[in-house]
Amino acid sequence: MQGMAATLATEDDMRNVAAFYASKTAKPGFATNKATVALGEKIWRGGLADKKVPACSGCHGPSGAGIPSQYPRTAGQHAAYTEAQLLAFRSGARKNNAQMMGVVAGMTDADIKAVSDYIAGLR
């Protein structure tokens, strides 16, 4: 991202790019794995108490719309992207947010896959 951002010379450039993306409407996605939707929904809505995983909806909102400037929108995101981010938070490859690193610490690969697929269908 640094290389990309470096080509935005001024704050106006950045605002223009942000306005462009803000003007787009997200295409609704779908959960694709029937077998894991229930687990994904459980994690999203209530977390996994036994693994100290908090409910995702507590911060990202019930519909995954997020709270702008505090908690990013996750609803409808491609499952592969969400899964990659959660795995990166867990391994420490992405370490820009202590909250998220804590959230995923107790999750298994299967938990991460299930909630990532579920999120793709949120709207």
Rounded to whole angstroms, the Cα distance separating 77 from 65 reads 11
Smallest gap from Cβ 58 to ligand HEC, in A, equals 5
**Identity of residue 31:** A
Which phi-psi region, left, alpha or beta, contains residue 47 (left: φ > 0; alpha: ψ -120 to 50)?
Answer: left
Q: Compute the least distance from the CB of residue 99 to ligand HEC, in Å.
A: 4
Residue nearest to ligand HEC (CB): 56
| Structure tokens that stand for 54 in this block | 């908090």
Pairwise CA distance, residues 16 & 50, whole Å = 45
Q: How far is the CB of 106 from ligand HEC (least distance, A)?
A: 10
Pick the closer one to ligand HEC by CB: 36 or 85: 85
Q: Which residues bind ligand HEC (CB under 6 A)?
A: 43, 53-54, 56, 58-60, 71-72, 74, 82, 85-86, 96-97, 99-100, 103, 115
Q: How far is the CB of 97 from ligand HEC (least distance, A)?
A: 4
